[in-house]
């Protein structure tokens, strides 16, 4: 059995199909790990979601910020944006089944591959959060969105997001921070507070900011000390493919006309498929 982790698909259905062919994906034998942002901005979100739902037994996915946006638009509590490409999906006769599947997906998955623990998440591991805290807080958010006030909870996720975590956070502010940390985080400041506007390369970031995965990095040039699980994530096209012992960042900007990338987590094989969907 091969275990392939694939970066942000974002509705690039033809590129996703071509990548599956290139890696020789075998339904019923192989496993696909999808780092979120299955939909939106690309032209074939409906095709992507239909294929993933059909192959649910072979797929383990997490929610990304664009997936959350789709759920909010479908619930009527978030306005569709001018760059959205969700109309075909929202008008589909099977939309309710597809959205129900999407709502069941977690924010964090705890996986074992080749004897090594991996955490599958869209954006990354927030500074100061243990793996168990990531899982607990992701589950807390998922329960709120699935509950009787789920539509209201979705509507509140982008309002007045507290940028700094505190155990005293409660209610909508607590959920908004969890959602931002797990699905939108790229850079943090020197205290680990989220910075949610910068999307460019880490090398060109404003002074005082660093990538979330470097928050605990040593200040010297000695060897990196790897401890804990490997984080498998996406969300950051300007970062590109970054593979380390503690990190597999997989967003290679397919929706922007670049590539869709898969990494086999046992062998480390990398396969990148040039975008064959219309670029934006």
d(CA 185, CA 188): 8
Mean pLDDT of the chain: 94
Residues 131-157 have a mean pLDDT of 96
Centre a 10 Å sphere on the Cβ of residue 131 and count the other Cβ atoms it contains.
15
Q: According to the model, what pLDDT value does residue 222 have?
A: 43
End-to-end distance of the chain based on CA atoms, in angstroms? 35
DSSP-derived pairing of the beta strands 259-264 and 247-249: unpaired
In this structure, what is the dihedral angle of CA atoms 249, 32, 182, 98, given to the nearest 10 degrees?
140
For the stretch 163-185, pLDDT in tens is 999 999 999 999 999 999 999 99
Q: According to the model, what pLDDT value does residue 228 have?
A: 79
Least confident of 91-95, 142-146, 182-186, 225-229: 225-229
Are the C-beta atoms of residues 250 and 232 closer than 8 Å to each other? yes
Q: What tokens were used for 225?
A: 């000390």
Q: What are phi and psi of 241, to 5 degrees?
A: -70, 125
Q: According to the model, what pLDDT value does residue 80 have?
A: 95
d(CA 15, CA 122): 20
Share of residues in the chain with pLDDT > 90 (%) = 92
Contacts of 212 (CB under 8 A, 6+ apart): 123, 124, 125, 126, 127, 185, 186, 187, 188
d(CA 27, CA 32): 10
> What ranges make up the beta strands (E) of the chain?
3-6, 31-34, 59-61, 108-113, 116-121, 187-188, 194-195, 210-211, 230-233, 242-244, 247-249, 259-264, 270-274
Q: According to the model, what pLDDT value does residue 114 have?
A: 85
Residues 72-82 have a mean pLDDT of 96
> What are the residues facing 118 on neighbouring strands?
111, 230
Domains, the chain, ranges and CATH?
3-218+226-274 (3.60.21.10)
Q: What tokens were used for 173?
A: 């502010």
Q: What tokens were used for 18?
A: 């071509």
Residue 226 confidence (pLDDT) above 50: no
Going from the C-alpha of 166 to that of each of 123, 159, 248, the distances in angstroms are 19, 17, 28
For the stretch 14-64, pLDDT in tens is 999 999 999 999 999 999 999 999 999 999 999 999 999 999 999 999 999
> What ranges make up the beta strands (E) of 12-164?
31-34, 59-61, 108-113, 116-121
pTM strictly above 0.85: yes
Q: According to the model, what pLDDT value does residue 137 have?
A: 98
């Amino acid at each position: 059995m091969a275990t392939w982790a694939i970066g942000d698909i974002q509705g690039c259905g033809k590129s996703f199909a071509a990548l599956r062919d290139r890696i020789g994906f075998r339904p019923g034998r192989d496993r696909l790990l999808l780092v979120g942002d299955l939909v939106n901005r690309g032209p074939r979100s409906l095709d992507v979601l239909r294929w993933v739902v059909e192959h649910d037994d072979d797929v383990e996915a997490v929610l990304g910020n664009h997936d959350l946006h789709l759920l909010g638009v479908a619930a009527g509590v978030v306005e569709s944006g001018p760059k959205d490409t969700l109309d075909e999906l929202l008008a589909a006769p099977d939309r309710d089944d597809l959205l129900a599947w999407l709502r069941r997906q977690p924010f964090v998955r705890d996986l074992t591959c080749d004897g090594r623990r991996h955490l599958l998440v869209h954006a990354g591991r927030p500074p100061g959060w243990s793996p168990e805290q990531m899982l607990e807080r992701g589950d807390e958010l998922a329960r709120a969105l699935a509950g009787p006030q789920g539509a209201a909870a979705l509507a509140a996720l982008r309002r007045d997001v507290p940028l700094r975590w505190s155990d005293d956070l409660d209610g909508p502010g607590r959920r908004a921070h969890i959602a931002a940390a797990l699905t939108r985080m790229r850079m943090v400041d020197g205290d680990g507070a989220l910075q949610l506007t910068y999307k460019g390369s880490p090398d060109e970031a404003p002074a005082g900011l660093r990538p979330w995965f470097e928050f605990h990095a040593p200040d010297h040039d000695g060897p990196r000390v790897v401890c804990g699980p490997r984080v498998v994530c996406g969300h950051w096209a300007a970062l590109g493919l970054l593979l380390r012992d503690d990190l597999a960042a997989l967003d290679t900007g397919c929706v922007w006309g670049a590539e869709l990338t898969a990494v086999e987590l046992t062998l480390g094989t990398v396969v990148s498929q040039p975008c064959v969907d219309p670029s934006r």
